[in-house]
Amino acid sequence: MGYTRLTAEQAHHFFELVAARYEHGSIILTSNTSFTGWGALLGDEVLATALLDRLLHHAEVIAINGSSYRMKERRTESRTPSTLSDTARHAAGDLPTGV
């Protein structure tokens, strides 16, 4: 949840799904939108309040803060000598003199 705003029909279907599961089974949900932004995301503050009330009633909320996991590989690649110029690699001692 969180990249694009849902249509009224999509928001209604999402609410129906949560309402059907409420008190009957588990739901695992991830979102990059804070709870305060769900009204705008669903296009209806009242619907968002009712939906969050059901989702959070017995919820275990885990907030994850930090750098993007998807960028981890890119950060690692940018630090490896193979991405450096030959001059920088010579300075780092990764290339023999004369290469």
pTM of the model as a whole: 0.64
Interior CA angle at 94 toward 90 and 99, to 5°? Answer: 55
- Tens of pLDDT, residue by residue over 49-71, are 999 999 999 999 998 888 877 78
Is 33 within the bounds of a domain? Answer: yes
Is 18 within the bounds of a domain? Answer: yes
Structure tokens at 42: 């669903």
pLDDT value of position 32? 85
Same domain, 46 and 71: no
Domain of 73? 67-99
Instruction: Let me know if 92 is exposed, middle or buried by CB neighbors in 10 A (0-12, 13-18, 19+).
Output: exposed
**What is the number of structural domains in the chain?**
2
The DSSP secondary-structure symbol of 75 reads: H
Is 61 within the bounds of a domain? Answer: no
Strands (E), 15-69: none
24-28, 29-33, 34-38, 79-83: lowest mean pLDDT where? 79-83
Q: Collapsing DSSP states into helix, strand and coil, what is residue 87? A: helix
Is 34 within the bounds of a domain? Answer: yes
